[in-house]
A = this chain, B = another copy of it.
Amino acid sequence: MPTNSSSLYLPFGENKNAAWYGKDIVSVKQFSREDLEYVFGVAHEMRGMVERVGTLDLLKGKILANLFYEPSTRTSSSFAAAMERLGGSVISINEVKYSSVTKGETLADTVRTLECYTDAIVLRHPETGSAEIAAKAMHKPLINAGDGTGEHPTQALLDMFTIKAELKRFDDLTITMLGDLKYGRTVHSLARLLSLFNVKLNYVSPNILKMPKEVMDEVSEKGISQNEFSSLEDVLPETDVLYVTRVQKERFENADDYKKVKGAYIIDLDIMKTAKQKMIVMHPLPRVTEISMDFDDDPRAAYFRQMEYGLYVRMALLAMVLGKA
């Protein structure tokens, strides 16, 4: 981690020459392979620091606004904890429906006002493209925490960091994505980032929930091998990373179609007997029935560790854009 280590001794100083200082985190498309390695290096340092000392004063005196136009306990708590573990403070604005926004204020005005008090904004918004609009209006860094069906870059980065931290590499891994691959922005962003490495991708989904052609085309251009399946059985034995997503009943036109397929997308101890001993099962959470709770104590169940890796990745990003990494 090429930190500006002197910043640790200048609590309010910022390294304004650092590559990420003042930058917005809007899309996974901003990240090259080298950028990813840098983020993961900083995240690894953050993990070590949390394990050794719990917190540090790197962002003491900095204030983060957590601006959530739609609820997401998991993501907002994760960013809040990341900021607080770095010694900073958080102002949570979760009830935007009650706020001046209802008086007709634009998103641009809201973020320009908030940045008068704070040092960075994390934005969750239901409309695709809103993160871009907010970032343009602001002078301080914005981090996109999900904008509609658009992007959720920090989720994709934490998914990548989980693989790196658990399996130590990306190259030569076989990653199998399971479930609803059509509507999940999570798997789209992950496939895009994985295509920067030499991986093999398997997509297992019901016919009506296949990975979109545009994502597959993009990944294909990078020379990545992709294969589609309707059943997990054939690919589970070779899988290094099984990424599970939920198949929602509402996606099906009639209940019978749903009943026919749903059993094929549930992970339990039984089906996992055919998987490698050294592999991991991931899930963006919350899960409902798609992973049996019996499997939770299996060492391959990485989904709660994945939440924890998210903390380190968000700590890394906050430190980077605030000139402290």
Contact = CB atoms under 8 A, between A and B. Distances in A.
A200 to B, nearest CB: 30
Q: Which interface residue of A61, A95, A101, A110 has the most chain B CB atoms within 10 A?
A: A61
A94 B95 contact: yes
A288 B81 CA distance: 35
Nearest to A93: B73
A89 B63 CA distance: 12
Contacts of A112: 304
A263 interface: no
B288 A116 contact: no
A85 interface: yes
A118 B81 contact: yes
Q: Which interface residue of A53, A85, A91 has the most chain B CB atoms within 10 A?
A: A91
Contact of A84 (B89, B93, B108): B89
A60 interface: yes
A98 interface: yes
A113 B12 contact: no
Interface string A30-68: 000000000000000000000011111000111101000
A197 B54 CA distance: 40
Contacts of A52: 12
A238 interface: no
Contacts of A100: 72-74, 285-286
Nearest to A287: B109
A260 interface: no
Contacts of A80: 91, 117
Given A12-B53, A95-B94, A307 B117 contact: yes
A271 interface: no
Given A63-B85, A105-B287, A286-B103, A307 B77 contact: no
Contacts of A167: none
A311 B116 contact: yes
A215 interface: no
21 contacts: A54-B119, A63-B81, A71-B99, A73-B101, A77-B91, A80-B117, A81-B91, A84-B89, A92-B92, A94-B95, A103-B288, A104-B286, A105-B285, A105-B287, A105-B288, A106-B293, A109-B285, A113-B304, A116-B305, A116-B310, A117-B308
